[in-house]
Amino acid sequence: MPVLSPKRDQLRERLETRLAGVVPDFEIAIKAEVAEEVELLKRETGAVVLGHNYMEPALFHSVCDHTGDSLELARIAAETTADPIVFCGVRFMAETAKILNPERTVLLPAKEAGCSLASSITAADVRALRKAYPGIPIVAYINTYADVKAEVDVCCTSGNARRVIESLGSDQVIFVPDEFLARNVARETGVEILVPTVGEVRAGELPVMTGDGMVGWAGRCEVHEQFTTADIDSARAQFPDVTVLAHPECSPEVVAAADVSGSTSEMIRHVRESGGGRYLLLTECAMGDNIASEIGGGEILRLCSVRCPHMNEITLENVRDALLNFEQRIELDEELRVRAKASIDRMLAIG
Ligand code: 13P
Ligand code: SF4
């Protein structure tokens, strides 16, 4: 049996405590070794590692200096002075870090880590909406690429969408690209919503907006769109005491049938603060694993057939490789970056 260094020993103990029953012991031992390599590389390079709440449990609980939802990580990215920044999340998140830190190296450990929402809309689509609905402010969910952020007025995340929209003081708002998040905000605020088809926008045949309300975009999260009210009914039939938490990228029917809806960190806080109960998390499955060890006598139910293939691209192994090779750098055109930053800065200023 190999002799473990004291640090590796500590890391392994921490992972064993956090991941008991979630990750098999032999895998924890392997992951602890890779985590120690990453720690060593972090010390050598001065890197900071930011990890989204969806990261695999061994990564989430070992080498991340900060974890959080998109809004929290954008705020940390705006404040950090570390260089390089290793972003354990998907491309639009790493791009946001680069937009805010042009002088620093931002590494995305897997260049394939995309997002179905971000790829559902182009900068030309936003220009077509602006032309069809002149004068109406455009809000982009942070799950968009830099070229789309560069065309809009302000960004938002799942944690502040309503606040950002209300801050505009406008009776009409265009909200892209998440149809369900837009419908959920419209439902909460009691406004009408019109969602043109992508074909209508691209053909320039947009419906006329007659009254107050929102114009949405037909983009969907390929993970959250899979949850149904039947999933909730089935969980409630088996576990009548279950608290159901749904991310606002789920359909309005699912969000209405849930007990709580919020960003990934809001869901985590709810579970932590109410502790000890039984919860069904309608979101990426790894997040349930990440908080399962924190809730003492409680239980996290989750639907693990529903995974985000993009978030799952990021592993401890490719974080190590990114720090060894410095290859997966985010690079952006400067003129585009400056315009995209204005939309992010407006969101961060809203608080
Ligand atoms: P949060 O901002 O709530 O973490 O959501 C990001 C995301 O991509 C959810 O699918
Ligand atoms: Fe995009 Fe959905 Fe994956 Fe989040 S879970 S990164 S919205 S595809």
Q: Which of 180, 203, 221 is the last residue of a domain?
A: 221
Statement to judge: residues 122 and 50 lie in one domain:
no
Taking the CA of residue 221 as reference, the ligand 2 atom at the shortest distance is: 2
Ligand nearest the Cα atom of residue 307:
2
Statement to judge: residues 169 and 137 lie in one domain:
yes
Domain for residue 27, yes or no?
yes
Distance in Å, CA 44 to ligand 2 centroid? 32
Binding site membership of 282 for ligand 2 (Cβ less than 6 Å): no
Statement to judge: residues 198 and 232 lie in one domain:
no
Using a pLDDT cut of 90, give the percent of the chain over it: 78
Spatial separation of the C-alpha atoms in residues 184 and 251, rounded to whole Å: 8
pLDDT band at 186 (very low <50, low <70, confident <90, very high): very high
Taking the CA of residue 142 as reference, the ligand 1 atom at the shortest distance is: 2
Ligand nearest the Cα atom of residue 248:
1
Q: Which of 221, 248, 264 is the last residue of a domain?
A: 221
Q: Which of 219, 221, 142 minimizes the C-alpha distance to 177?
A: 219
The string of pLDDT tens digits covering residues 21-75 is 888 888 999 999 999 999 999 999 999 999 999 999 999 999 999 999 999 999 9
DSSP per residue, 177-240: SBHHHHHHHHHHHT--EE---HHHHHTT-PPP--SSEEE---B--TTGGG--HHHHHHHHHH-T
Domain limits at 232?
224-300
Distance in Å, CA 2 to ligand 1 centroid? 40
Q: Is 243 helix (H, G, I), strand (E, B) or coil?
A: strand
Spatial separation of the C-alpha atoms in residues 179 and 185, rounded to whole Å: 10
The string of pLDDT tens digits covering residues 247-262 is 999 999 999 999 999 9
Statement to judge: residues 143 and 213 lie in one domain:
yes
Domain for residue 233, yes or no?
yes
Distance in Å, CA 201 to ligand 2 centroid? 23
Domain for residue 333, yes or no?
no
pTM score of the predicted model: 0.94
Spatial separation of the C-alpha atoms in residues 284 and 306, rounded to whole Å: 7
329 - beta bridge partners? 107
Binding site membership of 222 for ligand 2 (Cβ less than 6 Å): yes
Distance in Å, CA 327 to ligand 2 centroid? 24
Domain for residue 97, yes or no?
yes
Binding site membership of 178 for ligand 2 (Cβ less than 6 Å): no
Atom 4 (ligand 1): residue with closest C-alpha? 69
User: Which among 77-81, 145-149, 206-210 has the top mean pLDDT?
Assistant: 145-149
Question: Of 217-221, 249-253, 304-308, which range is least confident?
Answer: 304-308
Q: What's the mean pLDDT in 199-208?
A: 87
Radius of gyration of the chain (CA): 21
The answer for residues whose C-beta is within 8 angstroms of residue 300's C-beta and 6 or more apart is 271, 279, 281, 288, 289, 291, 292
Statement to judge: residues 70 and 142 lie in one domain:
no
Distance in Å, CA 77 to ligand 1 centroid? 16
Indicate which CATH number applies to the domain containing 92: 3.40.50.10800
Statement to judge: residues 73 and 159 lie in one domain:
no
Q: Which of 200, 221, 242 is the last residue of a domain?
A: 221
Distance in Å, CA 288 to ligand 2 centroid? 16
Question: Of 77-81, 152-156, 222-226, 274-278, which range is least confident?
Answer: 274-278
Mean of per-residue pLDDT scores for the chain: 93
Residue 300 is inside which H or E element, if any? strand 299-302
Taking the CA of residue 157 as reference, the ligand 1 atom at the shortest distance is: 2
Statement to judge: residues 206 and 231 lie in one domain:
no
Ligand nearest the Cα atom of residue 285:
2
Query: Which one is predicted more confidently, 94 or 289?
Result: 94
Per-residue pLDDT, 6: 60
Q: How far is the CA of 137 from the CAs of 129, 132, 167, in angstroms?
A: 10, 12, 11
Per-residue pLDDT, 130: 95
Atom 7 (ligand 1): residue with closest C-alpha? 70
Domain for residue 331, yes or no?
no
Atom 2 (ligand 2): residue with closest C-alpha? 221
CB 250 within 8 A of CB 272: no
Statement to judge: residues 16 and 83 lie in one domain:
yes
Please give the DSSP secondary-structure letter assigned to residue 109: S
Distance in Å, CA 181 to ligand 2 centroid? 12
Residue ranges lining ligand 1, Cβ < 6 Å: 53, 69-70, 143, 157-159, 221, 247, 249, 263-264
Count of CB atoms situated within 10 Å of the CB of 246: 26
Statement to judge: residues 103 and 168 lie in one domain:
no
Statement to judge: residues 20 and 105 lie in one domain:
yes
pLDDT band at 8 (very low <50, low <70, confident <90, very high): confident
Domain for residue 283, yes or no?
yes
Statement to judge: residues 96 and 33 lie in one domain:
yes
Domain for residue 339, yes or no?
no
Tokens 């992010």 — which residue? 344
Q: Would the pLDDT of 327 be above 70? A: yes
Domain for residue 343, yes or no?
no
Statement to judge: residues 125 and 207 lie in one domain:
yes
- How many domains, the chain? 3
Taking the CA of residue 308 as reference, the ligand 2 atom at the shortest distance is: 3
